[in-house]
Structure 1
Amino acid sequence: MELLDRITDYLIDNELKLATAESCTAGLIVSELARVAGSGQSIDCGLGVYSPQSKNRYLGVSFDTIERYGLTSEAVASEMAAGALANNDADVALANTGIAGPNPGDDDTPIGTVCFAWAFRHAGDHYDYCETRRFDGTRNEVRLAAAHYALERLPHYHGLCLDAASSGNDNQSSRHAEQRAIGSQLYARGTIDPGHEVERRRDFLCRAMAESGQQALVLGISGGVDSTVAGRLAQLAVEKRREQGEPATFIAMRLPYGEQQDADDADRALAFIEPDEVLDVNIQDASDSVLMALESGGMRFKDAHQRDFVLGNIKARQRMTAQYAVAGARSGLVIGTDQAAEALMGFFTKHGDGACDVAPLTGLTKQQVRRLGAQLDAPESLVHKAPTADLESLAPQKLDEEAMGVSYAEIDAFLEDREVSNQAFETIVRTYRATAHKRQLPRAPD
């Protein structure tokens, strides 16, 4: 109990809140710590995650990382700790993955091998540390030894974290840990097989329809690569459902605000997608009416640019209102086109284009979406089209990259855990933090 008492006191004295992500110890770290009276004030949560699927689902551990390094690896432990830290109200996360016995790992990893990771959040930065140890004994002796070792080393690595933060010497390590943690939370992967991803994401839409009992998919087509790829996946999904003997329809929607400047691109996208149905709904009157009603009700804007910005978000929400109206009438699911790059930057309208029932492009970088487009034989002009949200009437066809202040190439590099410039890193992380509310469920009282 001496160790457990000491670590409990350390957590309380340093005002640390603990989360764990445990594979081979299966919750034993938290269970052991909970033996100490009063330890609960320093424990946020404990996750037992055995399977690769649970590591990915609850912690954002990449399947690519698992495949490349194996389940018993410091790389997997590091992503587990990063996911536990990012998903919970914790300052420190402990993670482990290993082979407790009675048999060696599938890759002949020796019994008793355990990989550990300690992740800390301090002053807005992330710090992580890893170790691999081998313990002797029976299965449960290994598990208990691993749980105690994880706790025993916590003060040591927390001290390194504080030293690094005060000296600035480990700033690069902190940046990399935070970059990796963010990428994991958005399910980004460094490499993909486009053909496999097309099938996987089409089948995802099929399952979503089957599990929900809905008979239609609904999506607004803008003429950009995201809606073009998502639209074609939707059409392939409903065709597969019909082959299975189930009723299924894909309804594509044109949702211009007045005259769409790149209407030809939208027409080209629809010709490629070949949707079952196309509805054309102009949202200008509805959007303008909302803005006029606001102003009639006493709303005043600082200037024309703020007014235009608010109108832009109204447009996005009117488009989603129209899509949900169709989905409600036709027993359908609304498809979102959000991918990892836009999710990272919060580059979507909350309850507008950010609202949907299914998001088949989740986790893909912008370049990876283009690769899926090429795999599907989409027109090259759409695959490589410069992205624009086209919501600002005072700045029509304004490029996404201009609005975000960073290029998609830099955003993709960040998500794929590659090196980015200091300016790009700071812009991305600052924006990610500022837009956190867009990626979360509504807050409720504690």
Structure 2
Amino acid sequence: MELLDRITDYLIDNELKLATAESCTAGLIVSELARVPGSGQSIDCGLGVYSPQSKNRYLGVSFDTIERYGLTSEAVASEMAAGALNNNDADVALANTGIAGPNPGDDDTPIGTVCFAWAFCHDGDHHHYCETRRFDGTRNEVRLAAAHYALERLPHYHRLCLESATQSQEETRSRRAVQRAIGVQLQARSDIDVRYEIERRRDFLCRVMQESGQSTLVLGISGGVDSTVAGRLAQLAVEQRREQGEQATFVAMRLPYGVQQDADDANAALAFIRPDEVLDVNIQAASDALLEALESGGMTFKDAHQRDFVLGNVKARQRMVAQYAVAGARGGLVIGTDQAAEALMGFFTKYGDGACDVAPLTGLSKRQVRLLGQQLGAPDALVNKAPTADLESLAPQKLDEVALGVSYEEIDDFLENREVSERAFDTILTTYRRTGHKRRLPIAPD
């Protein structure tokens, strides 16, 4: 108990909250620590993750990492720790993966081999440390020794973190582990089979329609590549449903605020998509009326730019109100155009364009969406169009990349687990953490 008491005191004294991701020890670290009265205030959660699927599902461990390095590897342990730290309310995460026995690993890894990772979040930065050790004894003796070793080394690595004594190699490993974990959480992949993805996502829409009993798909078409690709997938899906003898309709919506500056692009997208039906609903009157009602009710803004920004979000939400009105009347599902690049940066309006029933572009980087568009035969002008949300009246056609402070090329490289500059990495990670509330369900009491 001396070790457990000491580690509990250390966690409490340093105001640390612990999360564990345990494969070899299967929850034993948390179980052992919980023997100490009062330790609960320093424990956030303990995850027992044996299978590769559970490591991927709950922690974002990449199957590519597992295949390349093996389950018993520091690379896998590092991604487990990163996932535990990213997904929970913790300052420190312990992870392990190894072979407790009675048989060696499939790759002949010796019994008793355990790979550990300790991850810390300090001043917004993540620090990762790894070790591989081999323990003697029976299966349960190995598990207990590994659990105690993970706890015993926690203060050592925490002090390194506080002293900023991490070497450049550890910093690089930390950054890449965080990058991989975020990419997997957003279902991003380095490479895709474009034709397969088109079929898979079309079939996904068909399956959701069948399972939900809905007969209509609804989507707003802006003239950008995302809505163009999602719209064409929707039209292909309803046509397939009709070939199967089912009733199905795709309703495309034009949702301008007043006069849309790039209306020609929206019309070109519709000509390419060839939707069953097009509804043209101008949202200006409804958006302006709501803003006027807010101001009549006493709402004030600090300046014109804040007022314009709020109105921009009203526009985005008004567009979704219109789409759900149509879906409700037609027995339909609303399609979202969110892809991994926008999800990573939180570049969508909460309960506006971020609200939908189905999101067929999930996991795709921006360049991968363009590849789908090219394969589908979309006009080059739409496929390669510079993205703009076009929500701010005082800054019409403002480019996404200007608002984001980083290019889509860099965002895509981050998602596809490629090298990015330190500046881009810091910008992306800071934005990802700041916009986390957009990717979560509403906060509820513990």
TM-score by length of 2: 0.90
Q: In structure 1, how many angstroms separate the alpha carbons of the residues matched to 2:49 and 2:28? A: 12
- AA matched with 1:92: V
Match in the other structure for 2:156: 156
1:348 shift after superposition: 1.1
Contact 1:20 1:81 in 2 (8 A): yes
Any idea what the Cα deviations from partners look like across 1:344-393, whole Å, max 9, x if unmatched?
22211111111112222223221122122223332222221110111122
Match in the other structure for 2:263: 263
Gaps of 5+ in 2: none
Q: In structure 1, how many angstroms separate the alpha carbons of the residues matched to 2:306 and 2:150? A: 52
Q: In structure 1, how many angstroms separate the alpha carbons of the residues matched to 2:105 and 2:238? A: 41
Match in the other structure for 2:12: 12
Q: In structure 1, how many angstroms separate the alpha carbons of the residues matched to 2:68 and 2:234? A: 31
Match in the other structure for 1:91: 91
1:404 shift after superposition: 1.7
| The 10-residue stretch of structure 1 (317-326 or 432-441) with the greater mean CA deviation from structure 2 | 432-441
Q: Structure 1 residues 272 and 55, CA, compared in 2 at 3 Å: closer, same or farther?
A: farther
Match in the other structure for 1:303: 303
The alignment status of 1:226 with 2:250, answered yes or no, reads no
Contact 1:94 1:150 in 2 (8 A): yes
Q: In structure 1, how many angstroms separate the alpha carbons of the residues matched to 2:237 and 2:104? A: 42
Match in the other structure for 1:414: 414
Q: Structure 1 residues 249 and 112, CA, compared in 2 at 3 Å: closer, same or farther?
A: farther
The alignment status of 1:113 with 2:113, answered yes or no, reads yes
- AA matched with 2:311: L
Match in the other structure for 2:251: 251
Match in the other structure for 2:47: 47
Match in the other structure for 1:38: 38
| The 10-residue stretch of structure 1 (203-212 or 77-86) with the greater mean CA deviation from structure 2 | 203-212
Q: In structure 1, how many angstroms separate the alpha carbons of the residues matched to 2:348 and 2:253? A: 19
| The 10-residue stretch of structure 1 (6-15 or 238-247) with the greater mean CA deviation from structure 2 | 238-247
1:84 shift after superposition: 0.9
Match in the other structure for 2:79: 79
| The 10-residue stretch of structure 1 (144-153 or 163-172) with the greater mean CA deviation from structure 2 | 163-172
Match runs of 1:355-434 below 5 Å: 355-434=355-434
Secondary structure at the counterpart of residue 163 of structure 2: helix
1:247 shift after superposition: 4.0
Q: Structure 1 residues 138 and 437, CA, compared in 2 at 3 Å: closer, same or farther?
A: same
1:88 shift after superposition: 0.9
4+ long deviations beyond 6 Å:
165-170
Contact 2:62 2:180 in 1 (8 A): no
- AA matched with 1:345: M
1:44 shift after superposition: 0.6
Q: Structure 1 residues 68 and 215, CA, compared in 2 at 3 Å: closer, same or farther?
A: farther
Match runs of 1:171-182 below 5 Å: 175-182=175-182
Q: In structure 2, how many angstroms separate the alpha carbons of the residues matched to 1:236 and 1:99? A: 48
Match runs of 1:64-213 below 5 Å: 64-164=64-164, 175-213=175-213
Q: In structure 2, how many angstroms separate the alpha carbons of the residues matched to 1:97 and 1:317? A: 45
Secondary structure at the counterpart of residue 93 of structure 1: strand
TM-score by length of 1: 0.90
Any idea what the Cα deviations from partners look like across 1:110-146, whole Å, max 9, x if unmatched?
4443322211111111111122334444443433333
Contact 1:165 1:171 in 2 (8 A): no
Q: In structure 2, how many angstroms separate the alpha carbons of the residues matched to 1:68 and 1:106? A: 14
Match in the other structure for 1:440: 440
Percent of aligned pairs sharing the same letter: 85
| The 10-residue stretch of structure 1 (165-174 or 402-411) with the greater mean CA deviation from structure 2 | 165-174
| The 10-residue stretch of structure 1 (46-55 or 315-324) with the greater mean CA deviation from structure 2 | 46-55
- AA matched with 1:62: S
Q: Structure 1 residues 28 and 240, CA, compared in 2 at 3 Å: closer, same or farther?
A: farther
1:241 shift after superposition: 4.1
Q: In structure 1, how many angstroms separate the alpha carbons of the residues matched to 2:441 and 2:220? A: 24
| The 10-residue stretch of structure 1 (237-246 or 67-76) with the greater mean CA deviation from structure 2 | 237-246
Q: In structure 2, how many angstroms separate the alpha carbons of the residues matched to 1:69 and 1:200? A: 29
The alignment status of 1:315 with 2:327, answered yes or no, reads no
Q: In structure 1, how many angstroms separate the alpha carbons of the residues matched to 2:267 and 2:200? A: 27
1:334 shift after superposition: 1.6
Match in the other structure for 2:338: 338
Q: In structure 2, how many angstroms separate the alpha carbons of the residues matched to 1:342 and 1:241? A: 30
Any idea what the Cα deviations from partners look like across 1:165-184, whole Å, max 9, x if unmatched?
69999665555554444434
- AA matched with 1:386: A
1:106 shift after superposition: 4.2
Q: In structure 2, how many angstroms separate the alpha carbons of the residues matched to 1:246 and 1:75? A: 48
Q: In structure 2, how many angstroms separate the alpha carbons of the residues matched to 1:147 and 1:240? A: 54
| The 10-residue stretch of structure 1 (35-44 or 192-201) with the greater mean CA deviation from structure 2 | 192-201
1:403 shift after superposition: 1.8
Q: In structure 2, how many angstroms separate the alpha carbons of the residues matched to 1:358 and 1:415? A: 21
Q: Structure 1 residues 85 and 43, CA, compared in 2 at 3 Å: closer, same or farther?
A: same
Q: In structure 2, how many angstroms separate the alpha carbons of the residues matched to 1:366 and 1:276? A: 27
- AA matched with 1:48: G
Contact 1:59 1:84 in 2 (8 A): yes
Q: In structure 1, how many angstroms separate the alpha carbons of the residues matched to 2:397 and 2:209? A: 34
Secondary structure at the counterpart of residue 164 of structure 1: coil
Secondary structure at the counterpart of residue 95 of structure 1: strand
Match runs of 1:272-291 below 5 Å: 272-291=272-291
Gaps of 5+ in 1: none
Contact 2:61 2:181 in 1 (8 A): no
Secondary structure at the counterpart of residue 250 of structure 2: strand
Secondary structure at the counterpart of residue 259 of structure 2: coil
Q: In structure 2, how many angstroms separate the alpha carbons of the residues matched to 1:94 and 1:19? A: 7
- When the two structures are aligned, how many residues end up with a matched partner? 446
Q: Structure 1 residues 107 and 329, CA, compared in 2 at 3 Å: closer, same or farther?
A: farther
